[in-house]
Amino acid sequence: MTRGGDERDAGDERGGDLAALRGADDAVVYQPAEDSGLLAEAAVAEAHGRVLEVGTGSGWVAERITEERGLDVVGSDRNPHAARQARERGVEAVVADLLAPFRADAFDAVCFNPPYLPTDPDNEWGDWMEHALSGGESGRELIEPFLDDVGRVLAPDGVVLLLVSSLTGYDEVLDLVDEAGFAAEPVVEESFPFETLTVLALRRA
């Protein structure tokens, strides 16, 4: 967090040089990867109505949902560089901590590719990329509060699209989903040498 603030200030000092500013942003904003592609595929297939992408990063997933489904998508991210980069793609994006500023029943679909790597507290590195990648010691430190609150912002027939890695503990996430009152259905899944990624569609049980 502290270093993130320093980086934002350094970027802002570049003044009107947008290319340099964008370069600085790329170094501190998660860029689209395999997990982003899987979330986009699932969201394009399952989302409807008003959509929120939590942790939008570069805004690439939100942009794909808009382009391929014509849906209105709001992106949110704790990282102001990410919100700015998403806005540069044409995504309506706000700086927010998870779901805090959004009103009840506001969205028909909520998508989230969370920071999920289990990280030893002694090895936390303290910058915006850590916030994009680290899920704390369990890998589930962002997934837990997200699942606790997502039912509040979700319309009655809404769907949550949540990316889960085998590194995070698939069964443990399913238990949290159940405790939050949702039923889970895998929508897309792909295995890589070190992990299997699944996007779950969550609907009220």
Ligand X SMILES: C[S@@+](CC[C@H](N)C(=O)[O-])C[C@H]1O[C@@H](n2cnc3c(N)ncnc32)[C@H](O)[C@@H]1O
Whether 161 and 47 have beta carbons less than 8 Å apart is answered as yes
Strands 107-112, 154-165: pairing kind: parallel
Phi, psi at 117, each rounded to 5°? -75, 125
CB of 75 to ligand X, least distance (A): 8
Q: Closer to ligand X at the Cβ: 17 or 196?
A: 196
What is the C-alpha to C-alpha distance for residues 124 and 115, in angstroms, rounded to an integer? Answer: 13
Cβ proximity to ligand X, 94 vs 155, nearer residue: 94
By CB under 6 A, is residue 131 in contact with ligand X? Answer: yes
- Nearer to ligand X by Cβ, of 84 and 131: the residue is 131
Q: Does 79 bind ligand X (CB under 6 A)?
A: yes
Size of the site for ligand X (CB under 6 A): 23
Our finding on whether 113 is near ligand X (CB under 6 A) is: yes
Q: Which residues have a Cβ under 8 Å from the Cβ of 25 and sit 6 or more positions away?
A: 11, 81, 82, 84, 85
Residues making contact with ligand X (CB under 6 A)? 30, 32, 35-36, 39, 54-57, 60-61, 76-79, 82, 97-98, 113, 115, 131-132, 142
